[in-house]
Each structure stands twice: as structure tokens, then as C-alpha cells.
Amino acid sequence: MPPLQRDPPILQELCTLLVNDQYGELASKVFSVLCRTGRTTLAGVVRASYLNGKQIKHGLVSLIQQHLIFHYAADPRVTYYEIDWQQAYSLLRYGRMASMIESRYGPKVANILLNLVTYGHARIEDLNNAYFPPPESNNGDESDDGQVNGKTSAKGKGNGINGSAKINGVNGTSKELPDELQDDESHVKLLANGDAHATNGHAHAANGDAPPTNGDAPLANGDGPLANGDGDVGGEVKEATNAKGPTSKGKGKIAKGKEIAIEVEPEHEVSDAEESENNIRSIPELHDLIYLLILNGWIVPVQPNHYLSPGDIHEIALQEILDGQHQGQMPTGTKDKEALVGSVAARKRLIREESLAMETPKTRKRKREDRELDRPSKRLRIMGVEKWSSSKNSNYQDRDTVPELDLNLVVRVNMEKLSVAMRTEHLVRLVERRLCRVTARIYEAMLWALEFNQQRCYEPWPEPPAPPEPGIAAYVDPGLLITAKDIMKVLPRNLDLCEGIDPDFIVKLIPGHRVTSKGFIEPPINLYDLSIKEKLELIEKHIWQLSFDPFNFVTWHSKRTGQCAEWHIEYDKIARIMIQNEVDNTVAKKTDVLGVKLVRALKKKGRCDELEMCEAMMMNSNDIRPLVCDLAMKGIVQTQEIPKVDRREAKLSWHLAWFDLQRTREKLLHDTYKGMVRLMQRLNYEKERVKDLLAKAERSDVVGNEDKYLSPGEREALQKFQKVEEALWVQLGREDELVAVLRDFTGPFVSV
């Protein structure tokens, strides 16, 4: 019997820890009650916990605001609540999301995103107010807040309450809260407790002001990280900027790679000019950036069906189809049933797409005062690449207009898009490892350009597979095709395209150079002198190398006459290879290379008895037997015993072993969750150990005056704790990357 049956399911534990860490104890109590009971009503929650009704309502409202639970009332009198596991797990990823946004669109946009994350969802008008507080929106207690833009605090409490109250009132399309929770207004207090965690292994130094190092998350209560300009956008810095206090004399931390956290002094003295460059200066600029995120799918309008659990959506879609096409009866024939599955999936897709569709906002002519309204980053143009001109939003490219968003539009972040970005990042790393840095950059450019047309990594409700037609290649959405020409436009001009290619090829292509005995090109090729054709040839060469790699990073699609070849990327296949690759890595670490060899042999041959394994691995059975045992114990390969006669006798049985990628994937995912839980638990333990010190360091008079109030011993202990904390968060972020590979890039495989 597994010894751990007394422990709760592991994902539940992980999510509860995450909610506790971000939204405090009450929210996590309610969350854990819902975890235990599953789908239930308010009364059910009350029965299952010792909290009183008011507390539970507070908890539920804050969880709903953060989209951590679904709710659905088929009968208006009874509302069911259910955990949104994906979103709950995603709490871990907000920091990563911000850093990805920053690397794509620049710090301003990342800042918007972080603010949105803090709110859960927000109305455009509330975002306006958060950035540019109107003079009359004073809530009494926050009169000191409307300072300079750069340091404006978020007014976590005040605006939060206002915001969601307004949302309830004004926005008729989406019913935010069930009636039974409507009376609860104080919920937003909890929200303000939220602070965006950045748990990212690939950290960037925070822009603007350095993030604070002292202070612990739960204590930052009341100060949302809505401060424009000094949100801790980057790495694993996990505390919200303590916007009220004089910010930070702390150190920004950059964690590179593994557990070693390198401390780097951030640019303390950010000049005013630089700082203001990272600030959003006007509402049109804000809208422009928000619209940019919407266009790229990072944020989506909130719709009522976002509150429906997958099960409810399925029921609704099924009922609609049954009512519409089958007179409310379940079809009986096999064919009809199959058709039903297909049409329900189609219906679900339709519901989703409808909700994501947003009409193109009104635009107005660009005015003179909008001249600073430039795109935040040069890299942004990667996203452009002729795609926009063909899409329906072509007017966005028009540099003479700016969008004006509907003030009542409610938006939230789209975590599915983050999976797409994480996949990109992972693929680029793989290429860097397998081929070369420059090839990886080119691949990155391709992936970034293709991201524009991808809302999610895979379709959870696909069409039923059509029988393959011979002679006809699978259809590829033209939006997912890309040519070397597209990439050339967005690559930095100083990227040395010659790197990573056989020099003999280069000197053949570009005459007048030769290869020295040491392999240098003599005289060096001036990148700026290359003709377009030569550049294209070089880029195509890189792409061919990607395509020939056994991982099949890109696939050739077609070549129109006189134009560049079109390429596409078979994400599903690559996702599978990536999973296998991670399994191999894990096995290699847990056992050794022989383990990987066995796994691959079994994958290739299917079910094998001992002799077949010996043949495939060219090893003697004495060496293989312990290996099979070991891997079977670790749950990586499965074993099976089939008696040849009607008795169970070892001699008269076949002993087979096999490997199932889906099973191993699930096992590894489970183990990874468990590893993450242990990291969080350890972090809590480490915090507990220095509880008193932390309490002191977070006192408002101590923050910022550590040198004055803390003894050298205390400072040292604090620093040591911070290092430990950072190592744990970095590790958590890296395990999260593994979770993404295992879980998010492709749907479950059908086991054979």
C-alpha cells in the first residue's frame, strides 16, 4: 500500500499553499474546504468548515475575484462552487508572465500586467484610475497617494472596492458574483493582500526602483503593487513593492540558473529621465498598450463563461446540441454518438471564441500630444511581420490612429497564452543546446512571430480526427506559416548569421573569402555588406538545420515560385518529444544512462520479454534484470506477468516490461508537484525559524533603516534567510517549467 494515502492529493496541497502564500489564511482556508468537498454550495462549505458564514463569504468573493473558483447556478437558488485548478496553480506563474511580457514588450506593459494580476480582473476605467487617479476619487484614507506618477501607490483597498463594486453595477453582460455573495463588500481587503510573486529562474533585474528585499509578503497587507514604474517585474523577487514606505534601498537579485543566487547591485540611481521613460504617461498610451496585449492574446475580456467549470460548459454545450439537433434525446446509433462528440466539441469552441472575440475598438486620429506614444520596444516589431495587415485588425498597424477602449470593458490575464510563451522559451533553450546560439535566435524569432496567432498550446476540444486522405497534406493554418523573409525583417542586424554554419558553405555562398586552417573566415564577412539574397540563404540554411535535427524543430511546408520557402512548426509532435526528453533527463539523473537506454528500447519495441530487451540493448540479461527492477520500482516502466498455463508459475510465465509515455508523464508530474509542495513547506519552515527576526525587520520603522535598528548578527541572519528563500523560489520556478512541459504543451496521449 502506498504509505502516503493519509496525505491529501498533491495538487490540492500545492494550490492551497500557493493561495495561502498570496491571499492569506482566510482565502486558503476556504479554498482548502472547497478542495476537500469538491463541487459544493455555500451551505456545503459552511457545513464542512468551522468558519462562520461571513468569513466564508469573504473568502469566496476574493477567490472569485481572482478567478480561483468557478461558480454556476443552473437553478438560480442554488449556486455551486468549484475550484479552478489551472488558475490556482497559475498563481505561481504571474512573475514569470511579467518577465516574459517585459522581454517582449518592455517594462511598461509588464507593469500593466502585474497590476491586472493583482486585481484578478479589472475594468478599463479602474485601470485608468489606478494609473491616473482622478482628483475626486478620494477615499478618505488615501489622500496621500496621488503623488508623482512614478511612485503612486495603488490604493489597493480603496480602488479595489470601488472597482469591483462598479463592475457589478455597470457591467450588465457579466454577472460577477452570485446573488448570495452580493452583500459582501469588504472582500477586497483580502485582495489587496495579494502580491505578485515572481518566481522565475531567468530573472531580469527589476526596472526602475530596486525591489525591496526585506519584508515578507503577508505583511505587505494593504499595499497593492500598483505602483507605476517600480513594480518588481523581474525575477524571483517575491514581495510586492511596499509602495507606501520609502522604497527600497534593497538589492535587486538576479538568479541565474540553479540554486546559486547571485546578488547584483541594481542600478540604484535611476535617473529621473530613465525612470519616466518606464512610466506610462497618458491614458491613450495606457490604452494603446492594453490593446496591444489584447491583440496578442495576453489579456482577454472577461465573459460569464469564464466562471463556468469545464464540466458545466460541457453540460451546457451538450444540452444545447441535444435540444437543437436531437430533440432533447440522447442519440442511440454509434455514428450519431460520434457525431455528437464532434459537435459538442465544436459548440464548446464556439462558446469560447465568442467570448474572446472583441470588436475592434474605436480609433481616433493621432494627435500631436500622442507623439510620445511609441511602441515600447523595438522587439515589438517581431510581432508585426505582415501578419497584422492580413488580419482583421489591420488598422492597428496604422500609425496614425490610437485605440480608445470601452471604459466598461472588463479584462483579465490569459494564462493559456503564457503556456505558449513558455513553450517558446523551452524550445529556444533546446535548440541552443542541440544546435547553436544563433540558430536558436532565429528560431526564437520564428516562434515569436507565430505566437501572435496562437491563443493556446493545443486545442482541448479538437475535431474528431478525420481519416487521413492519401496524397493530401494536412491543412496548415496560413497564419502558422512563416518564411525566412519574415524573420529577416525582425532579426537584429548585428546578429552574426555566419555563426553555426559550416564555413565551407559560407565561402561558397559569398565569394572572396577563404577558411583558414584554424577555421576562421578570412577576411571576415561584413554583415552590413551582405545582400538580401545572401542573408536569406544564410537564414534558410539555419532553418534547414533546424528541420534536419531529429527533433524536427520546423517542417517544410511549401515553396511558391519566386518566393521563400514557407515553414511551419508541428507543435504537437515536438511537445511529445519534449516530454520524452524530460523523462529521459529525469531517468538519467535518477538511475544512469542505462536506464534511459532501457526506456528508449522499450519505447521502440513495445512490450518485451527479457531476451528481446537483451537483443535491443545488446547487453546480458544479468545486467538488465536489476535495471528493470529498479525502474519498475520507480514507476517509470511497467512490468507484467502472463502465465502460459493455468497455474501461476514463474517458470511458465512470460515476464514482460513496457513503457508508456502517458503513465510516466503523469507519474513524473505528480512527483514534481510533490517536490514543489516540499519546497513550499520547507520555505514555511525556514520562515518559522527566523520568525521573530522577520517580524522585526518588517516593522514599518525598521524598513529602510535596517542599518540603524538591526544588529550586525541580525542583518547577517536576514541575508542568509533571504538567500535560502530565493534558492527555494528559484527552484520552484524551475520545477514549474518542468510542469509546463509535462502538462501544458499538449493534451493527454491515448495509451495504447
**Of 230, 486, 671, 744, the one binding another protein by CB under 8 A:** 671
| Residue 535 binding another protein, by CB under 8 A | no
Q: Which is nearer to another protein, 285 or 726 (CB)?
A: 726
In angstroms, the CA 243 to CA 240 distance is 8
Q: Which is nearer to another protein, 550 or 562 (CB)?
A: 550
CB of 623 to another protein, least distance (A): 9
User: Please, are residues 357 and 305 in contact by the beta-carbon 8 Å criterion?
Assistant: no
| Residue 524 binding another protein, by CB under 8 A | yes
With 0-12 / 13-18 / 19 or more C-beta atoms within 10 angstroms meaning exposed / middle / buried, residue 321 is buried
Amino acid identity for residue 749 in this structure: F
What are the phi and psi torsion angles at 670 (to 5°)?
A: -60, -45
Q: For residue 607, give Cα distances in angstroms to 480, 481, 637, 642, 650.
A: 38, 39, 10, 12, 18
In angstroms, the CA 260 to CA 727 distance is 7
| Residue 96 binding another protein, by CB under 8 A | no
**Of 389, 397, 585, 662, the one binding another protein by CB under 8 A:** 585
Q: Which is nearer to another protein, 10 or 413 (CB)?
A: 10
Segment 186 to 225, residues that bind another protein, using CB under 8 A: 201
User: Using CB under 8 A, which of the segments 73-81, 150-158, 442-450, 721-729 binds another protein?
Assistant: 721-729
| Residue 519 binding another protein, by CB under 8 A | yes
| Residue 616 binding another protein, by CB under 8 A | yes
Q: Which is nearer to another protein, 171 or 591 (CB)?
A: 591
Spell out the residues 6+ positions from residue 439 whose beta carbon is closer than 8 angstroms to its own: 431, 500, 542, 545, 546
| Residue 689 binding another protein, by CB under 8 A | yes
Cα Rg of the chain (Å, integer): 28
CB of 2 to another protein, least distance (A): 7
| Residue 636 binding another protein, by CB under 8 A | no
Q: Which is nearer to another protein, 382 or 543 (CB)?
A: 543
| Residue 514 binding another protein, by CB under 8 A | no
| Residue 685 binding another protein, by CB under 8 A | yes
| Residue 503 binding another protein, by CB under 8 A | yes
Angle between helices 107-119 and 94-105 (to 10 degrees): 150
User: Please, are residues 76 and 41 in contact by the beta-carbon 8 Å criterion?
Assistant: no
CB of 124 to another protein, least distance (A): 37
In angstroms, the CA 612 to CA 626 distance is 16
CB of 90 to another protein, least distance (A): 17
Q: Which is nearer to another protein, 31 or 448 (CB)?
A: 31
Q: How many CB atoms lie within 10 A of CB 217?
A: 19
| Residue 321 binding another protein, by CB under 8 A | no
How many CA atoms does the CB half-sphere of 111 hold within 13 Å? 31
Q: Which is nearer to another protein, 344 or 741 (CB)?
A: 741
| Residue 586 binding another protein, by CB under 8 A | yes
Segment 1 to 60, residues that bind another protein, using CB under 8 A: 2-4, 6-7, 13
In angstroms, the CA 416 to CA 456 distance is 5
SS3 state at 442: helix
**Of 619, 661, 693, 702, the one binding another protein by CB under 8 A:** 619
Spell out the residues 6+ positions from residue 718 whose beta carbon is closer than 8 angstroms to its own: 214, 690, 693, 694, 697, 706, 710
Amino acid identity for residue 332 in this structure: T
Q: Is the dihedral of CA 27, 28, 31, 33 positive or negative?
A: negative
**Of 84, 230, 736, 744, the one binding another protein by CB under 8 A:** 736
| Residue 504 binding another protein, by CB under 8 A | yes
Which x/- pattern over 222-261 shows residues binding another protein (rule: CB under 8 A)? ------------------------------------xx--
- Kindly state the cell numbers that stand for 665: 508523464
User: Using CB under 8 A, which of the segments 117-125, 170-178, 225-233, 677-685 binds another protein?
Assistant: 677-685
Segment 421 to 460, residues that bind another protein, using CB under 8 A: 433-436
In angstroms, the CA 240 to CA 220 distance is 7
